[in-house]
Every structure is written in structure tokens, then in C-alpha cells.
């Protein structure tokens, strides 16, 4: 369970790879998606050396398609991998809203944090929020790809709805990422950062903050 005495394994290679493929493809999708709108020419982003292609729709569309393929591949892998392993630690549970409030209050010095499992209640809620937003952009994105095929025509109303929902999804994804990254402003969450790069985190931190998880994986094996 551990590679050295002070560390404990939190994520395997496939989780780390999936996280970074999702993160990278999402950043590229946001940048290339905004490139579909006449923004980068207007605000002269395309004058920045090396970014002259940013206002060329055919280029940003191609990038958007490739990044979408990477995102969809990573999401499908994630669902199949954790589905087969029946590994549902990150799915929300009853009482998560209440516990999230307790965790946030405790961060500001009010009251005690509840005992945590592998993920904090607020991480489980953040996960469904980001998952829902990504599924929304993926599903509406696929409908938009179909619309771009010469053989498929939507009514004007339907096409507008799809675009509207794709844009709503975009805003939700951006909010989700801001909250996700915002969590790392707080020092209490810093020890989780090495885990998403190396797979391991500090053992003492795991024992103290993720006690339920720590006992589950360490009891009888590597106390
Ligand atoms: C510089 C960018 C990012 C950093 C430093 C980062 C960092 C992390 C870390 C440290 C964890 C693991 C937490 C743990 O072990 O409990 C994590 C989990 C996660 N990340 Fe990221 N992340 C980044 C970008 C993204 C992006 C762009 C997305 C989504 C589009 C994303 C979605 C998630 C999700 C859904 C989880 C699992 C739930 C959670 O821990 O909140 N991350 N991230
Ligand atoms: C985080 C993920 C994504 C973000 C932030 C994003 C963002 C955007 C934005 C801002 C636009 C321009 C406004 C619009 O026309 O609606 C756009 C257009 C588009 N997106 Fe996405 N998108 C994402 C994922 C996807 C995915 C997964 C697909 C395909 C499966 C996709 C396919 C398209 C298509 C076909 C267009 C229209 C291009 C055209 O003008 O013909 N997007 N996206």
C-alpha cells in the first residue's frame, strides 16, 4: 500500500492519466470553443506571436474536434474502468450537502470537520457537478457535429436550443473548474496535490483527514 513509510498510495496510473487527459482536453476545448466566436480577432489575441491561427475558424474547429475525441475517449474509459472495478468512492452520498457545509465552516475555524472517507463530501459533490457539465457539453457537442454534416438538417429552433445548451454547459464547466482549483487556495487541501502527479500523498495527512479510508486500506495490511 505504500512506496515509502511516510507516503501512501492514493491514485493509480490510469486515474492520473485520465485526470490529466480530461483536464488538458477541457482547457483546449474551452480555448478552441471561444475561437468559434469572433473573439480572438476582435481582442487581438491572434496578434500574439505564435497565435495567428487563433482566429481561423477552420483551425479552431479542427482543434475542437480532436480535443473532443480525447475528452470522450477519457470519459468512456473512466466510466468503464470504475464500473468494472465497482469503485464508487467518489459518488455523492446522503448527507453530503450538510457535511460540505461543516467542512467549509471548519476551514474558517468554526466547529469540527466530520471524519472523511477517501474523498471529502464537497469533492463528491464537485465531481457530480463537473461530470454533469461535461456530459452536457459532450451530448450537445455530438448533436452539433451531426448538424455540421451535409446530410443532416435541424429546424432552426432545435439548432438554437442545442447551441444554447452547449453554451450553458461551457459556463458550468468553467464554474466547476474555478471551484475545483479554488479549493487548492486553502492550505488544508495542499497535501492532496502531489497525489494527482505522483499517485502518493503524505501518510499522516491521510490518517488524520481521511481516517475512514485510511483504516479501510491499512487495517490488516500495512498498519
Ligand atoms: C491545473 C489544473 C488542475 C489541478 C492542479 C488539479 C488537481 C487535482 C487534484 C490534486 C485532485 C485529487 C484530489 C484527491 O486526491 O482527493 C483532482 C481531482 C479531480 N479533478 Fe482536478 N485538477 C486540475 C484540473 C482539472 C480539470 C480541468 C478538471 C475538469 C474538467 C478536473 C476535474 C477533477 C475531478 C472531477 C476530480 C475528482 C474530484 C475532486 O477531487 O474534486 N481537474 N484534481
Ligand atoms: C469542455 C468541453 C467543451 C467546451 C467548453 C465547448 C465550448 C464550445 C463553444 C464556446 C463553442 C462556440 C459556441 C457555439 O457554437 O455553441 C463550441 C462550438 C462547438 N462545439 Fe464545443 N465545447 C466543448 C465540448 C465539445 C464536444 C465534446 C464536442 C463534440 C463532441 C463539441 C462540438 C462543438 C461543435 C460542433 C461546435 C460548433 C462548431 C461550428 O461552429 O460549426 N464541443 N463549443
Task: Tell me: pLDDT of 5 over 80.
Answer: no
| SS (HEC) of 72-131 | HHHHHHHHHHHHHHCCCCCCCCCCHHHHHHHHHHHHCCCCCCCCCCCCCHHHHHHHHHHH
Q: Residue whose CA is closest, atom 4 of ligand 1?
A: 181
Q: Who lines ligand 1 at CB under 6 A?
A: 10, 19, 22-23, 26, 90, 119, 123, 126-127, 130, 177, 180, 192-193, 195-196
Q: What is the mean pLDDT of the chain?
A: 94
**What tens digit of pLDDT does each residue of 41-92 get?**
999 999 999 999 999 999 999 999 999 999 999 999 999 999 999 999 999 9
pLDDT score at 2 = 46
Task: Tell me: pLDDT of 220 over 90.
Answer: no
Label residue 221 by pLDDT band (50, 70, 90). low
Label residue 38 by pLDDT band (50, 70, 90). confident
Residue with cell 455540421: 148
Find the 220 Cα to ligand 2 centroid distance in Å.
49
Q: Kindly state the cell numbers that stand for 135.
A: 456530459
**What tens digit of pLDDT does each residue of 88-105 get?**
999 999 999 999 999 999
Nearest alpha-carbon partner for 15 in 82, 98, 85, 76? 82
Find the 184 Cα to ligand 1 centroid distance in Å.
10
Task: Tell me: pLDDT of 1 over 50.
Answer: no
**What tens digit of pLDDT does each residue of 145-202 get?**
999 999 999 999 999 999 999 999 999 999 999 999 999 999 999 999 999 999 999 9
pTM of the complete model beyond 0.95: no
Helix, coil or strand: residue 8: strand
Amino acid at each position: 500500500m505504500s512506496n515509502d513509510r511516510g507516503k501512501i498510495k492514493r491514485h493509480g496510473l490510469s486515474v492520473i492519466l485520465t485526470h490529466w487527459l480530461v483536464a488538458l482536453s477541457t482547457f483546449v476545448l474551452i480555448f478552441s470553443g471561444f475561437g468559434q466566436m469572433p473573439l480572438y480577432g476582435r481582442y487581438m489575441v491572434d496578434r500574439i506571436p505564435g497565435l495567428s491561427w487563433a482566429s481561423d475558424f477552420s483551425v479552431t474547429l479542427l482543434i475542437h474536434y480532436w480535443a473532443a475525441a480525447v475528452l470522450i475517449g477519457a470519459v468512456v474509459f473512466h466510466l468503464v474502468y470504475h464500473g468494472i472495478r465497482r469503485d464508487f468512492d467518489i459518488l455523492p452520498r446522503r448527507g453530503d450537502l450538510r457535511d460540505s457545509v461543516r467542512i467549509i465552516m471548519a476551514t474558517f475555524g468554526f466547529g469540527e470537520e466530520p471524519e472523511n472517507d477517501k474523498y471529502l463530501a464537497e469533492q463528491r459533490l464537485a465531481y457530480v457537478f463537473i461530470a454533469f457539465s461535461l456530459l452536457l457539453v459532450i451530448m450537445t457537442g455530438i448533436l452539433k457535429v451531426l448538424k455540421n454534416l451535409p446530410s443532416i438538417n435541424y429546424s432552426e429552433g432545435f439548432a438554437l436550443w442545442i447551441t444554447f445548451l452547449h453554451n450553458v454547459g461551457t459556463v458550468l464547466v468553467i464554474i466547476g473548474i474555478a471551484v475545483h482549483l479554488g479549493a487548492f487556495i486553502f492550505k488544508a487541501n495542499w497535501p492532496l496535490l502531489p497525489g494527482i502527479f505522483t499517485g502518493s500523498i503524505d501518510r499522516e495527512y491521510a490518517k488524520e483527514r481521511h481516517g475512514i479510508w485510511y483504516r479501510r486500506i491499512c487495517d490488516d495490511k500495512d498498519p
